């Protein structure tokens, strides 16, 4: 049995400062979450990010999960300036290691606008 949504799985695994985790009775292993994240469509990934981290600077999702999530979204939707900027903003907030990548994403967004 699996979690119905990526958001539900993330909430059970990492917690959520906006809503309580539901007692689901499933085993929680990070590799199961990463597997579900890998095969979730862009809408499902964005739903998770926006529900668990609505203000980018908050939420309990680990930074590496946010980075991977945005990377997977951008692979599915590479030509959406708003998503490129959102991903760049997330990287800037959790840098400076990724500031160069964030700047490249902003440039791509500007070129597409």
Domain coordinates of the chain in residue numbers?
A: 6-112
Q: How many residues comprise the chain?
A: 113
Q: Is the pLDDT of residue 22 over 80?
A: no
Nearest to 48 by CA among 95, 25, 38: 38
Q: Is the pLDDT of residue 24 over 90?
A: no
Question: Quick one: pLDDT at residue 41?
Answer: 97
Kindly list the distances between the CA atom of residue 85 and the CA atoms of 9, 32, 44, 46, 90, in Å, as whole numbers in the listed order.
26, 29, 19, 14, 9
Nearest to 73 by CA among 57, 85, 61, 55: 85
> Based on C-alpha coordinates, what's the Rg of the chain?
14
Q: Is the pLDDT of residue 3 over 90?
A: no
More confident residue, 17 or 69: 69
Question: Quick one: pLDDT at residue 74?
Answer: 98
Establish how many alpha carbons lie within 13 A of residue 79's alpha carbon, considering only the half-sphere containing its beta carbon. 1
3-state DSSP assignment of residue 61: coil
Tens digits of residue pLDDT in 31-87: 999 999 999 999 999 999 999 998 888 889 999 999 999 999 999 999 999 999 999
Question: Quick one: pLDDT at residue 23?
Answer: 76
């Amino acid at each position: 049995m699996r979690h119905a949504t990526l958001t539900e799985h993330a909430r059970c695994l990492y917690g959520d400062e906006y809503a309580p985790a539901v007692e689901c009775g499933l085993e929680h292993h990070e590799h199961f979450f990463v597997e579900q994240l890998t095969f979730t469509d862009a809408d499902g990934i964005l739903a998770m990010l926006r529900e668990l981290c609505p203000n980018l600077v908050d939420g309990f999702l680990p930074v590496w999960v946010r980075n991977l999530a945005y990377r997977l979204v951008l692979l599915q939707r590479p030509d959406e300036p708003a998503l490129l900027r959102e991903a760049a903003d997330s990287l800037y907030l959790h840098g400076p290691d990724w500031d160069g990548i964030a700047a490249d994403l902003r440039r791509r967004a500007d070129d597409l606008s």
